[in-house]
Structure 1
Amino acid sequence: MSVSELPRTGPDGADRPGPAGRAAPSTGRAARTARAPEQQGSAQVIELPVPRAGHFSGCPARVAARPSADSVWAARVMLVTGALLVPWLVVLALTLPSMTLAWVGLDAMEAAGLVTTGLLVLRRHPLRTPAAAVTATLLLVDAWFDTTTSSGVDLVFALVLAAVAELPLAALCGAVALRAAREQAGAQRGPVGPSSSAAGRRQG
């Protein structure tokens, strides 16, 4: 019998762990070390790519929060012109007392339409399309009646006013209405994504 095989007893008679007994803690550490990769692997989080808005045809494109520079310029022209029409309404009311309800009322609607359309364009409100269309119609009607109901010097003044103010403003409001309608239609349809483009090529 070797020395390592001899039993070792303590003062109280209890057996002490021999060399074989001291190997148990190392066995426990090895087991814990073997389980560590499994615990680390279970804690890993798998991140999947999330498609951005507008990447596929089913996701609508994000609408710009701010109006373009052209839209801001058009809105400012409308606001300034609508504000300048207020003193013109006073002049018409004082010089044409017999036609105050007809002409002053029409010009008042034009001023309200220009100011309202300008504010809606700056806010990119969906109602800017019908507001601009209605304002353009009012300006065209005003220019028509001014030129067809005047004669002499009044006709010359009506033609100049139509060429300088009413018709250009009507064209501006019409352009704003068409552009806003196209933007809203494009936002509802959304861009054509890679999947729909590939499907179209396969069908072709």
Structure 2
Amino acid sequence: MTTTINDRGGCLDSRIRWRDVPAVLVSAGVAAVLLPWCLILAASLPSTYHANHWKLAWIGLDCGTAVAAGLTAYLLHTRNKYAVLTAMAAGTLLLADAWFDVSTAAAGTDHTLSLAEALLLEIPLAVCAFLVASRELRRS
């Protein structure tokens, strides 16, 4: 079975190739497990928690975002089709960074600054990264 893609990226033929079935099943299984797991976490996690590797977590997230953005720039410069993947990763990491910045900031000035950074920098940059990925998908 095959899937035909039109110029806009939409499927014209809804048949799935047999080699795609495992990926579809795994993706559906992950969603089916994670959705109830989110409810369990919402009911059972404490409202505060001391993290032993706080700096490592934040430095790792920001370094990963920087690497994804830098690699996207390089791949775009070399006209490499894999820029789509790194742009999507960079956008996703920017959104995750915004989420965790805002949700973990202390009340007051820290929260206000985190919210401003998310709204003025991280979310717009994530949207730009997704637009780059979308544009590159249309080119290929």
Alignment TM-score, normalising by the size of structure 2: 0.60
Unpaired runs of 5+ in structure 1?
1-96, 185-204
- 1:168 and 1:178 map into 2 onto residues whose CA distance is 15
- 1:1-204 mapped onto 2 (5 Å cutoff): 99-150=54-105, 151-184=107-140
Deviation sequence 1:14-40 (CA, Å, 0-9, x none): xxxxxxxxxxxxxxxxxxxxxxxxxxx
- SS of corresponding position for 1:126: coil
- Higher radius of gyration, 1 or 2: 1
CA RMSD, Structure 1 to Structure 2 (Å): 1.4
The residue identity in structure 2 corresponding to 1:116 is L
Unpaired runs of 5+ in structure 2?
1-51
Deviation sequence 1:51-95 (CA, Å, 0-9, x none): xxxxxxxxxxxxxxxxxxxxxxxxxxxxxxxxxxxxxxxxxxxxx
Q: Which has the higher contact order (CA 8 A, sep 6+)?
A: 1
**Cα distance, 1:143 vs structure 2:** 0.2
Deviation sequence 1:66-125 (CA, Å, 0-9, x none): xxxxxxxxxxxxxxxxxxxxxxxxxxxxxxx96211111100111111111011111110
Identity %: 38
Number of equivalenced pairs: 88
**Cα distance, 1:176 vs structure 2:** 0.3
- 1:123 and 1:168 map into 2 onto residues whose CA distance is 25
**Cα distance, 1:149 vs structure 2:** 1.2
Deviation sequence 1:119-151 (CA, Å, 0-9, x none): 111111011001100110000000011111112
Large movers: runs of 4+ above 3 Å? none
Alignment TM-score, normalising by the size of structure 1: 0.42
